[in-house]
A and B are shown apart, each in its own frame.
Chain A
Amino acid sequence: MRRYILLVLLAAMTLAVLGGTGIAEAANPLLITNVGQGAESAMVNVLCKKEKIAATLNDTITASELAGPDGKAKFSFMAVVVGYSGKGMGAAGVNIDQELVRAHELMKKAQSLKLPIIIMHIGGIDRRGESSDRLIKEIFKYANYALFVSAGNYPDSGALDKNKPDNLLTNSLPKGVTLKIVSKINDIVAPLKGIMGL
């Protein structure tokens, strides 16, 4: 029983450290990056600017760029905006396999640096379909936090009924992840601030 209480206390302290006000006041509180190269990461960046949340947008950041010379994470949180865009991938000059290699390495490095990962899927049904779904299935498992626009839980696949939610987003998350589902993209600001302790 005592061991159980200790574990609960430890978990609470960890959450307090991750979500506490101190972290978000660091020099680089938030990294916004992209898996699938949709335009939504830029939207998150604009919303952060408007709300004066200091953020760095780097859609193609690699694992080696996450830590500073001291070996510590350069950021306090990493928002990973997931959603496949053929045009965006073309502009970035990568295919989906290359994008996934970068993404897996990035997530693993973030985990090793204890950098909390906020998975975002905010493009709705436009960011569902074969390629986006593959990214979702492979990347969501790294989430510490998750923010979704509700329409994204509806499929855009010919094999499934577009009008019925398949809950792929929610079902792809590991257990225990703090999840907030909103109806519009601009509704993510408040929960994002909450996660960052702002």
Chain B
Amino acid sequence: MKRIAAVLVLAVILAGGAIASAAQPVDTHTPKDVIGKNGMVAAAHPLASAAGIEILKAGGNAIDAAIATGLALNMVEPNASGLGGGGFMVIRFAKTGEVAVIDYREMAPGASTKDMYASEQSSKERWTIEGGKSIGIPGTVAGYFTAIEKFGTKSFKELSQPAIKLGEEGFEVSEMLAGIIKDNYAKMAKYNEPEDVPYFDEYGLPLEKGTTLKNPKLAQVFKELGEKGPSAFYTGWVADAIVNSIQKAGGIMTKEDLTKYEAKMRTPVTGTYRGYEIVSVPPPSSGGTHIIQMLNCLEYYDVNAMGHNSVAFMHTFAEIMKLTFADRTAYMRDTDFGYVPIKGLMDKAYAKTMVNQISPDKIIESPKAGDPAKYESGSTTSFVVVDQEGNICCVTQTINYFFGSGVMATGAGFMLNDEMDDFSTSPTSVSAPEPYKRPLSSMSPTIVLKDGKPFVALGTPGATRIFPSIVQTLVNIIDHGMGMDEAIEEPRFWSNGPSVFAYEDRIDETLINQIAKLGHKPKKYTSYDAYFGAVQGILFDQATGIMYGGADSRRLGEAIGF
């Protein structure tokens, strides 16, 4: 129904020769599919989507536009991603159907040790999540330049122009960003001189809603990257700024560490769900593998008959999540540092062993990791771009917690990540820190194909809620026939063990009471809580060639099409 309405809107708009966009919603949470035929960008901020569209209209491809979008996000959503972080990029080429994955996840500094976070002092002083010790070697610059060199059509200099303009001219601070700056003020004030932080006013206080945020220092870094390439970041004055700021904040990173960073090309993980092909990110992200693993489990159920967010579905999916998280803890890590039974985890017969453990009337008290090897045969942002040719570029990237470590590269205008928090603090874990190891991620930009053609491309931030939120969005579309934005805006829930069943309070309290009776421990979140991520996605109607863009109102997401 939603899709039919959207087509009607498109027809009216195209008849008028205007850029296609659905009618203004009553409020930001009302599902709103944006429509396009020639290109689309769905990102977590309208100014970032506009930056990508500007590049598409100038003849750039999806990869070009994605990089312009990512750079603009560093300006307008500086809390979530940027040059100081890393991520994953999934690209599907329309002509060949091939998929490339660029892994630009951060790496641990060379002096890292397995027990570096095992002490009580580390726990008390929060070494993994703020200050110099929490920072991994940033990968975004290497990732973007790899993408441009291999697949782009425009230069970094051209792609950074919209972001440079935002940095120099500024933009209005939203209520959401003002709140996030305030929430993270203490750590930024702790590790930086107030005048170095572009998110503070002349008194050193957090910028308020409605004020203008400029970041000319970051704009200058973008200009230098455009002139000199990635060496401006990994060996030049920016490298000095990064290392000096980190070491001043108690960190261990060196300039040599920065020179050792490299983005890596990865082979995507693939699976199927009810005839749809799922293509996503392999380790060091756990997300893609677990999306396929969970969908394999759900395939054993008639999800549509169970009813959307019914007690039966919520209970079943919560149990699947718990078992998946047990496997994640047991097996997942950077595959350059050890074996991960990826194929076993994604095997449908292995999924059956998980499903067999699930009872309809009680929870699994102690979910344990399975034995997938037997089945072996062999705080983030996300955006999606599609160009006129049909190439898709789906990106999830992050600096981890909002405003990362709280440490800025002094004089360079960007925050450094706290990605070391994604390693285990236990020295015996498969995911303990080691020199130049990539921390385990959940980021999972994903492309779904139907009969070999694009059906949906989507991604989300949200830490370990990422892959469960992707699965819930896909189930909403595939099993319940929802449109893109409708599927995104539906209430979500999450569980990673018997001690928590997190849910948005739009889910009926009587259903939650029944969930509690099965043994789950409900924990209520707000109606549209960013805890559950912020999905951006594009749905393709192959019959008409129309794209439907959806962007999550849990943040400031907006899709733009033309």
Give the segment of B12-20, B181-189, B301-309 that binds chain A. Answer: B181-189
CB of A43 within 8 A of CB of B189, answer yes
CB of A47 within 8 A of CB of B203, answer yes
Cα A186 to Cα B205 with chains together (Å): 8
Chain A residues whose C-beta falls within 8 Å of the C-beta of B519 in the assembled complex: none
CB of B183 within 8 A of CB of A46, answer no
Cα A47 to Cα B185 with chains together (Å): 13
Q: A50-B194, A91-B126 are in contact. Are A42 and B186 (CB under 8 A)?
A: yes
Chain B residues whose C-beta falls within 8 Å of the C-beta of A126 in the assembled complex: 182
Chain A residues whose C-beta falls within 8 Å of the C-beta of B182 in the assembled complex: 39, 126
Report the nearest B residue to A123, measured CB to CB.
B182
List A49-83 residues whose CB lies under 8 Å from chain B. 49-50, 59
CB of B126 within 8 A of CB of A46, answer no
Contact with A along B169-186 (1 / 0, CB 8 A): 000000000000011111
Contact sample, A vs B, 23 pairs, CB 8 Å cutoff? A39-B183, A39-B184, A39-B185, A39-B186, A41-B186, A42-B185, A42-B189, A43-B185, A43-B189, A46-B200, A46-B203, A47-B205, A49-B194, A50-B194, A59-B186, A85-B183, A87-B183, A91-B126, A126-B182, A185-B203, A185-B205, A186-B203, A186-B205
Report the nearest B residue to A43, measured CB to CB.
B205
CB distance from B208 to the nearest CB of A (A): 10
Chain A residues whose C-beta falls within 8 Å of the C-beta of B194 in the assembled complex: 46, 49-50
Among A39, A41, A91, which residue has the most Cβ atoms of chain B within 10 A?
A39
A45 on interface, CB distance cutoff 8 Å: yes
Count residues of chain B with CB under 8 A from any CB of chain A. Answer: 14
CB of A47 within 8 A of CB of B183, answer no
Query: Which residue of A47, A59, A88 is within 8 Å of B204 (Cβ)?
Result: A47
Chain A residues whose C-beta falls within 8 Å of the C-beta of B184 in the assembled complex: 39
CB distance from A87 to the nearest CB of B (A): 5
Cα A61 to Cα B174 with chains together (Å): 34
CB distance from B379 to the nearest CB of A (A): 12
CB distance from B368 to the nearest CB of A (A): 29
Chain B residues whose C-beta falls within 8 Å of the C-beta of A50 in the assembled complex: 194, 203-204
B352 on interface, CB distance cutoff 8 Å: no
Contact with B along A105-137 (1 / 0, CB 8 A): 000000000000000000000100000000000
CB distance from A33 to the nearest CB of B (A): 13
B260 on interface, CB distance cutoff 8 Å: no
CB of B203 within 8 A of CB of A88, answer no
Chain B residues whose C-beta falls within 8 Å of the C-beta of A186 in the assembled complex: 203, 205
Among B183, B186, B203, B204, which residue has the most Cβ atoms of chain A within 10 A?
B186
Chain A residues whose C-beta falls within 8 Å of the C-beta of B200 in the assembled complex: 46
List 10 extra interface pairs beyond A39-B182, A39-B206, A42-B186, CB under 8 A.
A43-B189, A43-B206, A46-B200, A47-B203, A47-B204, A49-B194, A85-B183, A185-B203, A185-B205, A186-B203
B190 on interface, CB distance cutoff 8 Å: yes
Among A42, A49, A88, which residue has the most Cβ atoms of chain B within 10 A?
A42
Report the nearest B residue to A34, measured CB to CB.
B186
List B239-276 residues whose CB lies under 8 Å from chain A. none
CB distance from B181 to the nearest CB of A (A): 9
Contact with B along A17-49 (1 / 0, CB 8 A): 000000000000000000000010111011101
Cα A91 to Cα B189 with chains together (Å): 16
Cα A50 to Cα B182 with chains together (Å): 19
Q: A47-B203, A50-B204, A87-B183 are in contact. Are A42 and B126 (CB under 8 A)?
A: no
CB distance from B270 to the nearest CB of A (A): 38
Chain B residues whose C-beta falls within 8 Å of the C-beta of A41 in the assembled complex: 186
CB distance from A13 to the nearest CB of B (A): 36
Report the nearest B residue to A122, measured CB to CB.
B205
Chain B residues whose C-beta falls within 8 Å of the C-beta of A88 in the assembled complex: 186
Cα A49 to Cα B185 with chains together (Å): 15
What 6 A-B pairs come out closest when comparing CB atoms?
A42-B186, A46-B204, A39-B185, A186-B203, A42-B189, A39-B186
Report the nearest A residue to B197, measured CB to CB.
A46
Chain A residues whose C-beta falls within 8 Å of the C-beta of B190 in the assembled complex: 42
Cα A126 to Cα B209 with chains together (Å): 13
CB distance from B426 to the nearest CB of A (A): 19
Chain A residues whose C-beta falls within 8 Å of the C-beta of B203 in the assembled complex: 46-47, 50, 185-186
Chain B residues whose C-beta falls within 8 Å of the C-beta of A85 in the assembled complex: 183
Report the nearest B residue to A45, measured CB to CB.
B189
Contact with B along A85-105 (1 / 0, CB 8 A): 101100100000000000000
Chain B residues whose C-beta falls within 8 Å of the C-beta of A59 in the assembled complex: 186
Cα A45 to Cα B204 with chains together (Å): 10
Chain A residues whose C-beta falls within 8 Å of the C-beta of B183 in the assembled complex: 39, 85, 87
Chain A residues whose C-beta falls within 8 Å of the C-beta of B205 in the assembled complex: 43, 46-47, 185-186
CB distance from A65 to the nearest CB of B (A): 15
Cα A45 to Cα B189 with chains together (Å): 9
Report the nearest B residue to A85, measured CB to CB.
B183
Chain B residues whose C-beta falls within 8 Å of the C-beta of A39 in the assembled complex: 182-186, 206
Contact with A along B182-220 (1 / 0, CB 8 A): 111110011000100000100111100000000000000
CB distance from A165 to the nearest CB of B (A): 21
Chain A residues whose C-beta falls within 8 Å of the C-beta of B189 in the assembled complex: 42-43, 45-46
Chain B residues whose C-beta falls within 8 Å of the C-beta of A185 in the assembled complex: 203, 205
Q: A85-B183, A87-B183 are in contact. Are A49 and B204 (CB under 8 A)?
A: yes
CB distance from B537 to the nearest CB of A (A): 28
CB distance from B268 to the nearest CB of A (A): 36
Cα A194 to Cα B204 with chains together (Å): 21
Cα A42 to Cα B194 with chains together (Å): 11
Chain A residues whose C-beta falls within 8 Å of the C-beta of B185 in the assembled complex: 39, 42-43
Report the nearest A residue to B181, measured CB to CB.
A39
Cα A88 to Cα B203 with chains together (Å): 22
Cα A43 to Cα B206 with chains together (Å): 8
Cα A186 to Cα B204 with chains together (Å): 9
Chain B residues whose C-beta falls within 8 Å of the C-beta of A49 in the assembled complex: 194, 204
